[in-house]
Amino acid sequence: MDGKTSPLAVKLPELPPLAGVRLGAAEAGIRYRNRTDLVMLELAAGTTVAGVFTSNRCPGAPVDWCRAALRGGQARAVVVNAGNANVFTGRAGRETCAVTAAAAARLAGCAAEQVFVASTGVIGEVLPVDRLTAALPALHAGLRADGWEAAARGIMTTDTFPKAASRVAKIGGVAVRINGIAKGSGMIAPDMATMLCFICTDAKLPSGALQALLKKGVDASFNCTTVDSDTSTSDTVLLFATGQAKHPRVPAEGGRVLGDFARALNEVLLDLALQVVRDGEGAQKLVRIDVTGATTGRSAKRIGLAVANSPLVKTAIAGEDANWGRIVMAVGKAGEPADRDRLSIGVGGVWMARDGGVVPGYDEAPVAAHMRGREVAIAIDVGLGRGKATVWTCDLTHGYIDINGSYRS
Amino acid sequence: MDGKTSPLAVKLPELPPLAGVRLGAAEAGIRYRNRTDLVMLELAAGTTVAGVFTSNRCPGAPVDWCRAALRGGQARAVVVNAGNANVFTGRAGRETCAVTAAAAARLAGCAAEQVFVASTGVIGEVLPVDRLTAALPALHAGLRADGWEAAARGIMTTDTFPKAASRVAKIGGVAVRINGIAKGSGMIAPDMATMLCFICTDAKLPSGALQALLKKGVDASFNCTTVDSDTSTSDTVLLFATGQAKHPRVPAEGGRVLGDFARALNEVLLDLALQVVRDGEGAQKLVRIDVTGATTGRSAKRIGLAVANSPLVKTAIAGEDANWGRIVMAVGKAGEPADRDRLSIGVGGVWMARDGGVVPGYDEAPVAAHMRGREVAIAIDVGLGRGKATVWTCDLTHGYIDINGSYRS
């Protein structure tokens, strides 16, 4: 956080209060000075919860804690700290989670298993949990229904702007709201980063239906984005439903009545996921990759991610070079079914390569102009089937090396 | 090639003549000016051949040609050009291979199917094959037994130094020689790069035994190295045995009699593979990653490559930061069996993290000194089994961005 905001930053949207949620931030001094680094959410009794976590095989202690807590399906509080990830901290790390949850449970008047914890920051240093528990009572006393912006700012680490999204949906004709905040900028940053996302709704939803919606939504949003291919040990997305809205009862399995809610939730997830990419370390350009014609949707996504993770594609984009040869290479390295002679590559709406060769006399001027913009669109038609997917990434610049290659302080 | 030689460069070794091989280089003016860009090897009648190629699903036309030619098991000539990869060039690309092979076959007095071709350079531009065939007769007339250095230089593209290796082995008590040359520096470079390797021996070896030895040797050398995780469309390793040495007959299946030969071949392959990593685009440090304690050797190799390909690990090394937290992350993201609480990480011979936590009071001074050197050794003990592997990479620096992120000229 050197004060330079990403050129791809978006403005913080308005986040209206949401029935059943009070939240806020405090300065616990865990690592940072003169900024908030501890966030708490208190949730109304009866709140259901769903969660999706990192696929990393060496997850942090908070991820273990949340996975276990999720089995109860009920949530009353969330505690998040920035500056220390509580990862690879052995027994101390597990105890930190338990102590934090117990302290928050006492304040919220609930069981420790109804408290969710998340940490982001440096790996391998024991979290000074005393500072955290010391700051909690005052933080809890000051929780407010309009504390969303404070919470969005308090969970930031190397983020250059706070990230939030809000949508309204209807369930059985009754309006419900979804508010979400997120942080993240590299998968693991110089010393601190990771992707965390907390979403709340006032809808009353069974935890099973909530989990199914979240899993599907994350697969099409956060799981379709990459900054640097590195998967954090702490990635966490939690969705809470406070049940304060007065809509018709939703059956356990969810179903059709949640169609509009799913649409709004997916919008919130994608909005937040793209904000994380926009804040990608050193990012100067947001890149959208549309893959069509793959043998399956899964194959299309893998091809898209191979292109999105290719250092040679990402550096070419940084150089504003529509280097479709590198895109051909990246499609081929994905290991998915592909046929060089049926493959087409387009940039900014112009097909540059088609059917195994360059498109004779394609117009380079609009392609060059497109590459100079802040948002780059790449189209890949594999030419084999009907599988499609869209993934997003950012370019790979000197800024990324500056942020991640500097001496650890 | 801006004239700046890699700080990790090694001196070109002496390459004695090898019975049955004559070679040389010429200026065909395919893309470069005032430098050689066309190389030819002529091989004695009876030469057997083995080959290993890119796993990229969109290979270049020369790779298709070589795969087909390999079925005959016999080789009389090799033609290599630098500056144009003849990739994604459709029917013209296939014709270029056929025309090149036919021209070389006429000069060498053999069938076109006994000629192997390889190209490296820009993708998607039709190779001006007329310039190539026009230069071949004079090149062929000037082939020499001592043309190894000329050949090593003629195949370079973004390479900053020529790459060669030579070893002697015994088969049934009789000395044979193995000479090899290679080129490569990024998997696919700004406009030109790829990995090519040509190895010759005067041993008399059945093509089946030769193929088995080469496959195994490449798996433990080139396939254990990565510069930027990007897999070229043109990667080619060819091994030729001219059969001029007077050693006892080797059975079709090879076997024990080839033990020392396999040792020498593996040394040549690893030597050349590491020279390619040393010339990795922007590389300032050569990184060796030893993985032990994985469930299988295959799992160990995947974990090693996940670490070697992690941008966050590679930028940390560029910053001379022994950031073991990022190594933990990369081990976890490999998707292979791993247990955070059994994992150990060491750098420069010092264990920094062990059994799920930092090693209390480990000595940072020798680690910091090691990180400042040109060669960095990382040790990862997964703590689960007996699988092990070693992989090599280089750091990720501003130089990589400069080389690959500049506007295409």
- A361's torsion region: left (phi>0), alpha (psi -120 to 50) or beta? left
Query: Which of A311, A355, A397 has its CB closest to that of B229?
Result: A311
Question: Which residues in chain B have Cβ-Cβ distances shorter than 8 Å to A58?
Answer: 328-329, 331-332, 338, 340, 343
pLDDT for the residue A403? 86
- Distance to chain B for A25, nearest Cα, Å: 27
Question: Which residues in chain B have Cβ-Cβ distances shorter than 8 Å to A229?
Answer: 229, 309-311
Q: Do B332 and A231 touch (CB under 8 A)?
A: yes
The token pair at B376 is 């960095």
d(CA B49, CA A209): 61
Q: Beta A115-122 vs A77-84: how paired, if at all?
A: parallel
pLDDT for the residue A409? 36
- Give residue A278's Cα distance to chain centre: 11
Chain A residue with the nearest C-alpha to that of B84: A325
Chain A residue with the nearest C-alpha to that of B310: A230
The token pair at B174 is 């009789």
The phi and psi torsions of A336 (rounded to 5 degrees) equal -90, 160
**By the 8 A CB rule, do B260 and B364 touch?**
no
Query: Which of B233, B315, B404 has its CB closest to that of A405?
Result: B315
The phi and psi torsions of B320 (rounded to 5 degrees) equal 60, 35
Q: Do A398 and B396 touch (CB under 8 A)?
A: no
Q: Which residues contact A306 (CB under 8 A, 6 or more apart)?
A: A330, A331, A333, A334, A335, A336
Query: Which of A57, A338, A408 has its CB closest to that of B321?
Result: A408
Chain A residue with the nearest C-alpha to that of B400: A315
> In which residue are the tokens 């192997």 written?
B116
- Distance to chain B for A73, nearest Cα, Å: 26
Q: Do B340 and A58 touch (CB under 8 A)?
A: yes
> Of B216, B387, B363, whose CA–CA distance to B290 is shortest?
B387
**By the 8 A CB rule, do B34 and B27 touch?**
yes
Q: Do A325 and B232 touch (CB under 8 A)?
A: no
In one-letter notation, the amino acid at residue A163 is K
ipTM value > 0.85? yes
- Mutation pick from A125, A234, A328, A402 vs chain B, by most beta carbons of B within 10 Å, is A328
* pTM of the complete model: 0.90
Question: Which residues in chain A have Cβ-Cβ distances shorter than 8 Å to B191?
Answer: 323, 325
pLDDT per residue, tens digit, chain A (409 aa), is 445 899 999 999 999 999 999 999 999 999 989 999 999 999 999 999 999 999 888 899 999 999 999 999 999 999 999 999 999 998 999 999 999 999 999 999 999 999 999 999 888 889 999 999 999 999 999 999 999 999 999 999 989 999 999 999 999 999 999 999 999 887 543 344 578 999 999 999 999 999 999 999 999 999 998 888 888 888 999 999 999 999 999 999 898 999 999 999 999 999 999 999 999 989 999 999 999 999 999 999 999 999 999 999 999 999 999 999 999 999 998 999 999 999 999 999 999 999 888 999 999 999 999 999 999 999 999 999 999 999 999 999 999 999 888 744 3
- A176's torsion region: left (phi>0), alpha (psi -120 to 50) or beta? beta
d(CA B275, CA B268): 11
pLDDT for the residue B3? 55
- Laid out side by side, the sheet with B163-171 consists of B48-53, B236-241, B196-201, B174-183, B163-171
The token pair at B48 is 């057997």
Chain A residue with the nearest C-alpha to that of B339: A58
Catalytic residues of A: 194
In one-letter notation, the amino acid at residue B145 is A
Question: Which residues in chain B have Cβ-Cβ distances shorter than 8 Å to A318?
Answer: 401, 405
- Distance to chain A for B38, nearest Cα, Å: 22
Query: Which of B228, B329, B405 has its CB closest to that of A232?
Result: B329
Q: Do A123 and B321 touch (CB under 8 A)?
A: no
**Cα R_g (chain A), whole angstroms:** 22
d(CA B5, CA B23): 25
Query: Which of A88, A231, A340 has its CB closest to that of B340?
Result: A88
Q: Which of B120, B133, B157, B194 is catalytic?
A: B194
- Mutation pick from B285, B320, B326 vs chain A, by most beta carbons of A within 10 Å, is B326
Q: Do B58 and A331 touch (CB under 8 A)?
A: yes
Q: Do B55 and A232 touch (CB under 8 A)?
A: no
Same CATH topology for B21-278 and B286-404: the answer is no
- Distance to chain A for B353, nearest Cα, Å: 8
Q: Do B58 and A88 touch (CB under 8 A)?
A: no
- Distance to chain A for B279, nearest Cα, Å: 16
Question: Which residues in chain B have Cβ-Cβ distances shorter than 8 Å to A333?
Answer: 55-57, 230-231
User: Which residue ranges make up each domain of chain B?
Assistant: 21-278, 286-404
pLDDT for the residue B187? 58
d(CA B257, CA B377): 35
d(CA B286, CA B136): 38
Q: Do A56 and B333 touch (CB under 8 A)?
A: yes
Question: Which residues in chain A have Cβ-Cβ distances shorter than 8 Å to B61?
Answer: none
Reported as a single tens digit per residue, the pLDDT across A116-171 is: 999 998 888 899 999 999 999 999 999 999 999 999 999 999 899 999 999 999 99
Homologous superfamily of domain range B21-278: L-amino peptidase D-ALA esterase/amidase (3.60.70.12)
d(CA A131, CA A234): 21
Chain A residue with the nearest C-alpha to that of B194: A329
- Distance to chain A for B366, nearest Cα, Å: 16
Query: Which of B232, B320, B396 has its CB closest to that of A401?
Result: B396
**By the 8 A CB rule, do B188 and B240 touch?**
no
**By the 8 A CB rule, do B231 and B309 touch?**
no
- Mutation pick from A53, A55, A57 vs chain B, by most beta carbons of B within 10 Å, is A57
Chain A residue with the nearest C-alpha to that of B382: A58
pLDDT for the residue A189? 35
Question: Which residues in chain B have Cβ-Cβ distances shorter than 8 Å to A323?
Answer: 191, 408
- Distance to chain A for B314, nearest Cα, Å: 8
SS (H, E, C) chain A: CCCCCCCCCCCCCCCCCCCCEEEEEECCCCCCCCCCCEEEEEECCCCEEEEEECCCCCCCHHHHHHHHHHCCCECCEEEEEEEECCCCCHHHHHHHHHHHHHHHHHHHCCCHHHEEEEEEEECCCCCCHHHHHHHHHHHHHCCECCCHHHHHHHCCCCCCCCEEEEEEEEECCEEEEEEEEEECCCCCCCCCCCCEEEEEECCCCCHHHHHHHHHHHHHCCHHHECCCCCCCCCCEEEEEECCCCCCCCCCCCCCHHHHHHHHHHHHHHHHHHHHHHHCCCCCCCEEEEEEEEECCHHHHHHHHHHHHCCHHHHHHHHCCCCCHHHHHHHHHHCCCCCCHHHCEEEECCEEEEECCEECCCCCHHHHHHHHCCCEEEEEEECCCCCEEEEEEEECCCHHHHHHHCCCCC
The phi and psi torsions of B39 (rounded to 5 degrees) equal -125, 140
**Cα three-residue angle A315-A318-A324, rounded to 5 degrees:** 65
d(CA A349, CA A365): 12
Q: Which residues contact B135 (CB under 8 A, 6 or more apart)?
A: B26, B27, B28, B29, B38
Chain B residue with the nearest C-alpha to that of A314: B405
Reported as a single tens digit per residue, the pLDDT across A346-374 is: 999 999 999 888 999 999 999 999 999 99
Q: Do A355 and B90 touch (CB under 8 A)?
A: yes
pLDDT per residue, tens digit, chain B (409 aa), is 445 899 999 999 999 999 999 999 999 999 989 999 999 999 999 999 999 999 888 999 999 999 999 999 999 999 999 999 999 998 999 999 999 999 999 999 999 999 999 999 888 889 999 999 999 999 999 999 999 999 999 999 989 999 999 999 999 999 999 999 999 987 543 344 578 999 999 999 999 999 999 999 999 999 998 888 888 888 999 999 999 999 999 999 898 999 999 999 999 999 999 999 999 989 999 999 999 999 999 999 999 999 999 999 999 999 999 999 999 999 998 999 999 999 999 999 999 999 888 999 999 999 999 999 999 999 999 999 999 999 999 999 999 999 888 744 3
- Mutation pick from B223, B235, B284, B333 vs chain A, by most beta carbons of A within 10 Å, is B333
Question: Which residues in chain B have Cβ-Cβ distances shorter than 8 Å to A321?
Answer: 406-408
Chain A residue with the nearest C-alpha to that of B89: A357
- Distance to chain A for B335, nearest Cα, Å: 6
- Mutation pick from B404, B406, B409 vs chain A, by most beta carbons of A within 10 Å, is B404
Q: Which residues contact A223 (CB under 8 A, 6 or more apart)?
A: none
Interface A:B, Cβ pairs < 8 A: 221
Q: Do A90 and B312 touch (CB under 8 A)?
A: no
d(CA B10, CA A160): 43
What CATH number labels A286-404?
A: 3.10.20.340
- For A131-161, b where at least 16 C-beta lie within 10 A, e where not — what string? bbbebbeebbeebeeebbbbbbbbbbbbbbb
pLDDT for the residue A193? 52
- For A343-368, b where at least 16 C-beta lie within 10 A, e where not — what string? bbbbbbebebbbebbbbeebeeeebe
- A344's torsion region: left (phi>0), alpha (psi -120 to 50) or beta? beta
Q: Do A321 and B396 touch (CB under 8 A)?
A: no
**Cα three-residue angle A198-A202-A208, rounded to 5 degrees:** 70
